[in-house]
Structure 1
Amino acid sequence: MSILRSELPSIVAFLVFAGFKVAGDAVKPDTVGTAGSLVLLALIFAVVMWCAFSVVRHAECLATLFGEPYGTLILTLAVIGIEVALIVAIMLSGDAVPTMARDTMFSVIMIVLNGLVGLCLLLGGIRHRNQSYNLQGANAFLSVLVPLAVFALVLPRITHSAPGGELSSVQAGFEIAMSVLLYGVFLAIQTVTHSDIFQQPDVGGNDDGHHDVVVRTVPFHVVGLMGALVPIILLSKSLALYVEFGIEAVGAPIAFSGFIVAALVLMPEGMSAVQAARDNKLQRAVNICLGSAVATIGLTVPAVLIVGWVTGLRIELGLETADIILLMLTLFVSLLTFGSRTTNYLQGAVHLALFAAYIMMIFDLS
């Protein structure tokens, strides 16, 4: 009974998916209207979020079994899988929005580097004053993140080999190859040759930082994780349909859809990062936050470019000028924040101020 209760999110999600399939056209946005669409959007969003928390729970159990940094890596890759599925679903639903992938990846970076990092540093700093982490590990994340972000989100807007913020075929091929290879090298550093630099320095890596989870066997949690991921992917098309309709109905800017997707996939692991910071396990919070940002650029960019090439969809990755300025400022402040071995809540307040500026720009620049 306890196992059935713990896997209830996956069961409910499969039932909801089956219900939408049986209902068919009767529950489409044009049929149920704006109010009905918003209600169904809230339902799907809640179910997907519930499953996402189940993914995080199984990933944390695997992290307890494998230890760091493998646990955080499993969590990051699982969340990126959800992100790619949602982006592709929205890209393929209705009128394809060429900036969808760009808006989502930019939202992930802003939410992670400003929202989550700021919240972790603020709450952790208020509770513990100065917090320590492994400086080499943070520098490894940033050394990969900065060039990947600039190549993917800035360079396409500056170059003239393709219109607007699109990538030429040469740029797209280079971006895919560079992202995959650089992320592969980073994974080797993180998991094989230098895994010690991603562990909490003051505990020698012996404390995995995972609490309040019932740990069973590796096969059980692998199956449970996949069982929670699959319904999210199955429901992603329906979610995309209602998100697109809802944003148009309420008159919200199209970039807000990228923020919704990013917030959805980041919410569970974001809460895990904040809790880790409050527990004075800042290294785990750093691994989650910076790992999500690196994986988003390193894995999502190749995925959406390949999907665009296969389906013939136009993909626009280059940010607008105002967003480029905010991105560069965020990367610069992040380098300053993670330039010393300790942090405090002032740095958290600065990052949250940048996050507030990003939210303001979504609505003000549209």
Structure 2
Amino acid sequence: MTVSVVSGVRNVLTPRALTQLLLGWIAFVVLLIAHPVLKGPLSTPALFALLAAIVVVIVVCAFGVVTQAERLAHRLGDPYGTLVLTLSIVVIEVVLISAVMLGPGDHSTIARDSVMAVSMIILNLVIGIALLVAGVRHRALEPNSAGVSSYLSLLVVLLPAAFVLPGLIGSEGAYESGQAVPILITTLVLYAFFLYRQMGPQRDDFQEVTAAPSAPGATTTSEGHRSRSSILEVLSAHRTEVLSRAVVLVLTVIPIVLLSHDMAALLDEGVARIGAPVELSGILISMIVFLPETITTIRAAHTGEIQRVSNLCHGALVSTVGLTIPAVLVIGLITGQTVHLAESPANIALLGVTLLLTVTSFFSKKITAVHGAAHLMTFLLYVLIVFS
């Protein structure tokens, strides 16, 4: 290992980054060792104290993820930078849902409940806060309409295919085998084609409309965007830094998701003790899992990077639906489990309102704080439906 490589790794693995990384993994190992104890009944104060401790660890690790993601994003430029964070979280989330389905018990609705919760959290809560912050701090914000349109084109197709069609053409809210196969294949093909276009011919559609300072060593066009060949130049010149940051990011994300999964049983018990709806547990877990992306999104909104807000939020949801639904359908076909995807009429109506609101917000001539407030109101309506 050369001196330059060692120096590059040290610049990435700072004492703070190392502390955040070790904290997450140590907490996970401690929980793993303590599983026999946690299986027994805990007092209510002990239960909520343990939950609070886990949340604190997750928040500390989340800031570590955010740091690496932001450095990568500014080094690589969009959409590559945001894809690293988005895919690392979404892929692990898909693996967790798949693991739960393959485990003991009846989990036929976990994919529906999880993806619906993620949809409402991302499209309304996170985007609502981001637009509120951005609208208050900046007078005029203009997203790249071509990029936002591409995201919404997929969501307008994938979300109804996931939540509406199973109730209309399926059996008891689930696709039959002959229906599941074409749905999962076309979903994967569409998502793969989207990624190819996003990272290749249509890359400019997912960059900021206004020129922004480039990362050190990056070349730009006359419009202020990186040239198409600049990504190769950046990788060549900063290979050690990019690889190191990507590895540290993923290794910090994994304990966040694992801790969220391990605390699911504790959270279910806590929700039951306070008499809250079962769906609340899924909502809270989804919020915690996507915490790093949420923090990154709000920071991007604070600095006026409105297209990056779209890349993080809309891109995360496209990836979640595009990967989760095919994965659970495959598991259902292999194991013979029934995968219930059809949503309730109330949630379907709210999903339609959310998509319409997203169009009116991001295709407005000027994004304002009022748009953010409307998204937050929609999320409150979703919470109202959960508690009804």
With the length of structure 2 as denominator, give the TM-score of the two structures: 0.83
**Counterpart of 1:261 in structure 2: which amino acid?**
I
Mapped pair 1:10 → 2:21: yes
Residue 291 (structure 1) aligns with? 315
Q: 1:304 to 1:56 in 2, by over 3 A?
A: farther
SS in 1 for 2:152: helix
Mapped pair 1:162 → 2:186: no
Alpha-carbon distance in 1 for matches of 2:340, 2:334:
15
Runs (5+) with no aligned partner, structure 1: 208-214
Mapped pair 1:276 → 2:287: no
SS in 2 for 1:202: coil
Contact 2:123 2:354 (C-alpha < 8 Å) held by counterparts: yes
Mapped pair 1:222 → 2:220: no
Residue 47 (structure 2) aligns with? 37
Alpha-carbon distance in 1 for matches of 2:192, 2:303:
31
Alpha-carbon distance in 2 for matches of 1:169, 1:205:
50
Residue 32 (structure 2) aligns with? 21
Partner deviation per Cα, 1:250-279 (whole Å, 9 max, x = no partner): 222121122112211222212221221221
Partner deviation per Cα, 1:1-37 (whole Å, 9 max, x = no partner): 9723312222122222222333341122x33344333
Where does 1:273-352 land on structure 2 (aligned, <5 Å)? 273-352=297-376
Alpha-carbon distance in 2 for matches of 1:243, 1:309:
30
Partner deviation per Cα, 1:195-231 (whole Å, 9 max, x = no partner): 0011111214549xxxxxxx97122112212321333
Where does 1:1-366 land on structure 2 (aligned, <5 Å)? 3-28=14-39, 30-88=40-98, 90-91=100-101, 95-159=105-169, 161-163=170-172, 165-203=173-211, 204=223, 206=225, 217-364=241-388
**Counterpart of 1:223 in structure 2: which amino acid?**
V
Contact 2:131 2:372 (C-alpha < 8 Å) held by counterparts: yes
Partner deviation per Cα, 1:308-354 (whole Å, 9 max, x = no partner): 44455432211101101100111122122223443222222222221
Alpha-carbon distance in 2 for matches of 1:266, 1:277:
16
Alpha-carbon distance in 2 for matches of 1:39, 1:168:
44
Q: 1:175 to 1:111 in 2, by over 3 A?
A: same
Alpha-carbon distance in 2 for matches of 1:272, 1:39:
27
> Aligned residues: percent identity?
36
C-alpha displacement at 1:91, in angstroms?
Answer: 4.4
Alpha-carbon distance in 2 for matches of 1:339, 1:109:
20
Contact 1:52 1:265 (C-alpha < 8 Å) held by counterparts: no
Alpha-carbon distance in 2 for matches of 1:22, 1:308:
32
Contact 2:260 2:285 (C-alpha < 8 Å) held by counterparts: no
C-alpha displacement at 1:185, in angstroms?
Answer: 1.0
**Counterpart of 2:38 in structure 1: which amino acid?**
V
SS in 1 for 2:91: helix
C-alpha displacement at 1:87, in angstroms?
Answer: 3.1
Q: 1:4 to 1:185 in 2, by over 3 A?
A: same
Q: 1:314 to 1:35 in 2, by over 3 A?
A: farther
Alpha-carbon distance in 2 for matches of 1:80, 1:221:
18
**Counterpart of 2:171 in structure 1: which amino acid?**
A
Contact 2:256 2:289 (C-alpha < 8 Å) held by counterparts: no
Q: 1:310 to 1:128 in 2, by over 3 A?
A: same
Runs (5+) with no aligned partner, structure 2: 1-9, 212-222, 227-238
Contact 1:82 1:232 (C-alpha < 8 Å) held by counterparts: no
